[in-house]
Amino acid sequence: MATLKDVAKRACVDVSTVSRALNNSGYVHPDTKARIYKAVKELSYRPNVLAQGLRQGKRHTIAVVVPRMNLTTFADVVQAAEEEARNRGYATLICNTEDDPKIEQESLGRLRNGFVDGILIAGTSHCSRLLRDLHSSGLAVVQVIRRQEPRLSSVVADYQTCGYEAVKYLASRGCRRIGLINGDSGLAPYRERYQGYSRALKEFGLEEITVSVDKPVNTFEYGYFCTESLLDQHPHLDAIMAAVDIQGIGALRALKDRQMSVPRDIRVISLTGNAIGDMLETSLTALEIPSYEIGRKAARMLIEEIEAPEGAKPPAQHLSFAATLVERESS
Amino acid sequence: MATLKDVAKRACVDVSTVSRALNNSGYVHPDTKARIYKAVKELSYRPNVLAQGLRQGKRHTIAVVVPRMNLTTFADVVQAAEEEARNRGYATLICNTEDDPKIEQESLGRLRNGFVDGILIAGTSHCSRLLRDLHSSGLAVVQVIRRQEPRLSSVVADYQTCGYEAVKYLASRGCRRIGLINGDSGLAPYRERYQGYSRALKEFGLEEITVSVDKPVNTFEYGYFCTESLLDQHPHLDAIMAAVDIQGIGALRALKDRQMSVPRDIRVISLTGNAIGDMLETSLTALEIPSYEIGRKAARMLIEEIEAPEGAKPPAQHLSFAATLVERESS
DNA sequence: CTGAAAGCGCTTACAG
DNA sequence: CTGAAAGCGCTTACAG
């Protein structure tokens, strides 16, 4: 790989002149410039980003820390963030934590090494302390999907309203026994969905019906077995709310296996709709959240924080997106 | 952020001694070592990875270049590759190309900058030249899912056998008019699926029935509209093979909308099964490919190439995984 | 308009 | 066992 020195030698100038020519900083005689560009081309020189980063204290790289990507909203978030970052000249590092605090902690630890300028994170809430340390040591941090720490910026969906609106909608369709399949209430999005659900039920004078089973939460199996359990305990259930699509898909399958007809016998709604809901044999009514937009905006917010001049860093900002109800066949 | 110098000052030794202590290279007196570790802890010092990389010519970072991640096998591949890389002390950069050669070219260009040690790529085949240049300039390269360039290592599934076995299976179930929904034959996986399909049909004395519509290939819509088109032209079709799950899901939905019963009226099979096939209301028979394993092995192969001593780089290796037929409800 | 020098934070022969 | 020096590839004041 050619270096600045190679280019300088070939163009018969000093490296500093080459640097100035390439960065358009300071005057360089047009003829010299031409000679330099020629040499650059001939050697197919590309500046070493590591050396630039080391010298300038900027890496033009962000990290995205998420639990996983397969069949979750995080696939969209990561993809959108990467696109936004790329368009702004940043590279994107990815870290999957599987929601394991140990992996999360280790990954964040590695990011303390001057690798990246900022971190986009959907964390477990077990590393808030570390995250604040990173932030005060100069790294930009934006929380995405999950807001666990009010002192750090965030871009999320309004999950509480999702929960509330879903109940309201189902009640308007005549449902009176509405079960909720949710997730770890230690994580903000699940907790908020529950709060919305609970508040709405109170308003409508209905009873809370929840359940959980011993499976990973964000899965088909969880949806499937929670549905079984709900029906075992409440045979007259007339609606199921699932926190995420993949649970809703599990619910649909469980209902089919019980020969229950959707939506005739029971209605199903997802509280975090994604593209997949529209593709099912019984398409899934959902409160759709703009995951792509969330990823994009979060990356933008992060990069703006990175590029804000030292000392004029913006205070924590919290952006929340409304979900929109999309009626399909399951309700 | 504390630097080596800060640690050295606090421990009253030279930076070189600190470096040796931390890397366990060369002798350091136990007492000195203790003093150094103490200083490291007190300052919560972390070595600057950029500086290390610049000095050692290693970045401990790989890039994964894929078209997209949402609802594709690439989500698994990327996740597995990241996990494998992380376990070996490497960070993972992600680049989505949307199969746009311009984006791909630009992304690869950026990677020439000494950012990464190696590249894992599912490319468009439009950048083979550039890829070979990168490789000969010293970057490790492994192709994943798509093998477009025989001179570079690869880890893929045996798509031709997928196509062949699917026909054989359907024929054994009595199917005689088997339609294929496929994709861009410029891409190896699609081309190979077609070859397997074609070869099997010939052996069984059956007629090729293919179609394509003007939509992005790897989508629900493509599967949906291809199914419509197939049925319009061949009302007596008795089986549909879809290149990927998401097309198969589109096919199932199109058949439902035509009030055709699966598998009674027509059988459906996916040639690249993933987890999702098992979760559907009509679960999807598929040739399942081990996408997670593919990602893992590809990352491992890449890192082995990176870490092979200069001059002893292994020749191009090609690893191919067999798919396994999983019978479900759709066939 | 151009060059020489210092320095980003580290590692690694080389003396001693 | 330890320190001084050179250097990875770049940028940026500072002279001239």
**Contact yes or no for B63/B111 (Cβ under 8 A):** yes
Kindly state whether A220 is in contact with chain B, defined as any CB-CB distance less than 8 angstroms. Answer: yes
Query: Measured between beta carbons, which residues in chain A are less than 8 angstroms from residue B93?
Result: 61, 91-94
> pLDDT of B37-75, one tens digit each?
999 998 989 999 889 988 988 889 999 999 999 889 999
In a domain, B77, yes or no: yes
A94 touches strand C (CB under 7 A): no
Query: Measured between beta carbons, which residues in chain A are less than 8 angstroms from residue B250?
Result: 279
Identify the residues numbered 39 to 58 in chain A whose C-beta atom is closer than 7 Å to any atom of strand D. Answer: 45-48, 51-52, 54-56
pLDDT of residue B329: 96
Residue indicated by tokens 């998420």: A66
The pLDDT of residue A249 is above 90: yes
Q: What is the number of domains present in chain A?
A: 3
* pTM of the predicted protein model: 0.92
In a domain, A107, yes or no: yes
Upstream peptide bond of B263 is cis (omega within 30 degrees of 0): yes
Smallest CA–CA distance, residue B40 to chain A, in Å, is 14
Q: What number of residues does chain B have?
A: 331
In a domain, A128, yes or no: yes
> pLDDT of B271-293, one tens digit each?
999 889 999 999 999 999 999 99
Per-residue pLDDT band at A71 (split at 50, 70, 90): confident
Nearest residue in B to A76, CA atom: B70
Distance CA B87, CA B79 (A): 12
The pLDDT of residue A137 is above 80: yes
Mean pLDDT of chain A: 94
- If one counts every other C-beta atom within 10 angstroms of the C-beta of residue B299, the result is 30
In a domain, B262, yes or no: yes
In a domain, B193, yes or no: yes
A15 touches strand C (CB under 7 A): yes
A71 and B75: CB-CB below 8 Å? yes
Query: Measured between beta carbons, which residues in chain A are less than 8 angstroms from residue B115?
Result: 49-50, 91
- Joined together, the tokens standing for residue A194 give 């529950």
> pLDDT of B210-231, one tens digit each?
999 999 999 999 999 999 999 9
Per-residue pLDDT band at B303 (split at 50, 70, 90): very high
Residue B21 region by backbone torsions, left for phi larger than 0, else alpha for psi between -120 and 50, else beta: alpha
The pLDDT of residue A315 is above 80: yes
Per-residue pLDDT band at B313 (split at 50, 70, 90): confident
B49 touches strand C (CB under 7 A): no
Kindly state whether A165 is in contact with chain B, defined as any CB-CB distance less than 8 angstroms. Answer: no
Kindly state whether A281 is in contact with chain B, defined as any CB-CB distance less than 8 angstroms. Answer: yes
Give the contacts of A138 (CB within 8 A, at least 6 positions apart).
Answer: B1
Domain of residue B70, residue span: 57-156+291-321
Give the CATH number for residue B192: 3.40.50.2300
In a domain, B326, yes or no: no
pLDDT of residue B71: 86
**Contact yes or no for A230/A237 (Cβ under 8 A):** yes
Q: If we measure between CA atoms, which residue out of A151, A55, A90 comes closest to residue A304?
A: A90
Kindly state whether B216 is in contact with chain A, defined as any CB-CB distance less than 8 angstroms. Answer: no
A281 and B253: CB-CB below 8 Å? yes
In a domain, B331, yes or no: no
Per-residue pLDDT band at A310 (split at 50, 70, 90): confident
Kindly state whether B102 is in contact with chain A, defined as any CB-CB distance less than 8 angstroms. Answer: no
**Contact yes or no for B247/B268 (Cβ under 8 A):** no
Beta strands in chain A (DSSP E): 61-66, 91-96, 118-121, 140-144, 153-157, 178-181, 209-211, 239-242, 267-273, 285-288, 318-321, 324-326
Per-residue pLDDT band at A78 (split at 50, 70, 90): very high
The pLDDT of residue A24 is above 90: no
Nearest residue in A to B71, CA atom: A71
Query: Which residue among B71, B76, B138 sits closest to A1, beta carbon to beta carbon?
Result: B138
Looking at the structure, do residues A281 and A311 belong to the same domain, yes or no?
Answer: no
**Residue type (1 letter), B178:** I
Distance CA B236, CA A233 (A): 47
Smallest CA–CA distance, residue A202 to chain B, in Å, is 34
pLDDT of residue B64: 98
Query: Which residue among B92, B93, B113 sits closest to A48, beta carbon to beta carbon?
Result: B113
**Contact yes or no for B141/B118 (Cβ under 8 A):** yes
pLDDT of residue B220: 95
pLDDT of residue B260: 97
Looking at the structure, do residues A266 and A317 belong to the same domain, yes or no?
Answer: no
Measured CA to CA in angstroms, residue A62 lies from A70, A72, A93 at distances of 21, 21, 6
pLDDT of residue B275: 84
Looking at the structure, do residues B281 and B171 belong to the same domain, yes or no?
Answer: yes
Looking at the structure, do residues B202 and B110 belong to the same domain, yes or no?
Answer: no
Looking at the structure, do residues B168 and B227 belong to the same domain, yes or no?
Answer: yes
Give the contacts of A267 (CB within 8 A, at least 6 positions apart).
Answer: A170, A173, A175, A238, A239, A240, A285, A330, A331
In a domain, B328, yes or no: no
Looking at the structure, do residues B179 and B297 belong to the same domain, yes or no?
Answer: no
Distance CA B265, CA B255 (A): 9
Per-residue pLDDT band at B76 (split at 50, 70, 90): very high
Looking at the structure, do residues A242 and A150 belong to the same domain, yes or no?
Answer: no
Mean pLDDT of chain B: 94
Q: If we measure between CA atoms, which residue out of B292, B243, B285, B288 comes closest to residue B266?
A: B285
Distance CA A117, CA A63 (A): 8
Give the CATH number for residue A29: 1.10.260.40
Q: Is the C-alpha dihedral spanning A157, B66, B289, B186 positive or negative? A: positive
Looking at the structure, do residues A165 and A145 belong to the same domain, yes or no?
Answer: no
- The C1' atom of D13 and the CA atom of A321 lie apart, in whole Å, by 47
A35 touches strand C (CB under 7 A): no
Paired strand residues for B171: none
The answer to which of A227-241, A291-305, B99-113 has the lowest mean pLDDT is B99-113
Kindly state whether A113 is in contact with chain B, defined as any CB-CB distance less than 8 angstroms. Answer: yes
Neighbour order of strands in the sheet with B267-273: B209-211, B178-181, B239-242, B267-273, B285-288, B324-326
> pLDDT of B254-270, one tens digit each?
999 999 999 999 999 99
Distance CA A194, CA A192 (A): 5
- Joined together, the tokens standing for residue A95 give 């870290």
B20 touches strand C (CB under 7 A): yes
Looking at the structure, do residues B205 and B241 belong to the same domain, yes or no?
Answer: yes
Upstream peptide bond of A101 is cis (omega within 30 degrees of 0): no
Distance CA A95, CA A120 (A): 10
Looking at the structure, do residues A153 and A295 belong to the same domain, yes or no?
Answer: yes
Neighbour order of strands in the sheet with A267-273: A209-211, A178-181, A239-242, A267-273, A285-288, A324-326
Distance CA B15, CA A329 (A): 68
**Contact yes or no for B294/B145 (Cβ under 8 A):** yes
- Joined together, the tokens standing for residue A221 give 């199996």
Nearest residue in A to B69, CA atom: A75
DSSP letter (8 states) at residue A330? T
Looking at the structure, do residues A188 and A200 belong to the same domain, yes or no?
Answer: yes
Looking at the structure, do residues B189 and B279 belong to the same domain, yes or no?
Answer: yes
Query: Measured between beta carbons, which residues in chain A are less than 8 angstroms from residue B103?
Result: 86
Residue indicated by tokens 């007196």: B29
Start-to-end CA distance of chain B, whole Å, equals 61
